[in-house]
Structure 1
Amino acid sequence: MAIKISEILGKEVYTTKGLYVGKTYDAMVDIEKSSVSGIVISDASKGCLKDNVSDPTKKIVLPYRIVESIGNIILIKPPATERKLV
């Protein structure tokens, strides 16, 4: 199933354990492979990865391979740093 990148922008991102990660700000595209390689997350300073964000204005990039599903929200596998915290 194909979706437009513009359809994921602004969606809230949660882990499969129900923890808030942030909001989708942008997507990174691998031109050579013609595929999305990562999603750029804003608002990460308010999410479960806040300990990894020193500046609240900074954004983080999550690899697209951890995305489990996209619907009204985006669900991701818990990042390794989060697994240590839970």
Structure 2
Amino acid sequence: MSKSPEEITTLVGREVYSNNGVFVGEIEDVRLNLDQQAVTGLALGQLNRELFSETVQLGTGVIVPYRWVRAVGDVVLINDIIERLKQPEESEEVVV
């Protein structure tokens, strides 16, 4: 018996973590390219406030490009690039 392909709606509700194990958010919807019949992004809500407090207003979500996805299982793993949002910018010295 062959396993049938999963419906993309099964992604909704799954938690998203970075490769380093940091919680990013929960999938609320998917962005599709109908011409290519491919998922192009994941719309996340229930965001990790530590990661997004500086860049996203409370109560809003973000769309993560699907190319960042590394693994899909009980949870979705994405590149750790998302954690760079939280890191303080390198000190920039102004040269006069």
Unmatched segments (≥5 aa) in structure 1: none
Shift of 1:52: 1.8
Structure (1/2) with the larger strand percentage: 1
How many pairs are equivalent? Answer: 84
2:33–2:40 CA contact under 8 A, matched in 1? yes
Give the Cα separation in 2 of the matches to 1:5 and 1:47: 28
Say if 2:24 and 2:47, in contact at 8 Å, map to a contact too: yes
Alignment check: 8 A CA contact 1:21 1:47 kept: no
* Pair member with larger Rg: 2
Residue pair 1:67, 1:74 contacting (<8 A) in 2 also: yes
Percent of matched pairs sharing the same residue: 25
From the superposition, tell whether residues 47 and 13 of structure 1 become closer, same or farther in structure 2 (CA, over 3 Å): farther
Residue ranges of structure 2 left out of the alignment (5+ in a row): 89-96
Counterpart of 1:82 in structure 2 is 83
- TM-score, with structure 2 as normaliser: 0.76
* Two-structure CA RMSD over aligned residues (Å): 2.1
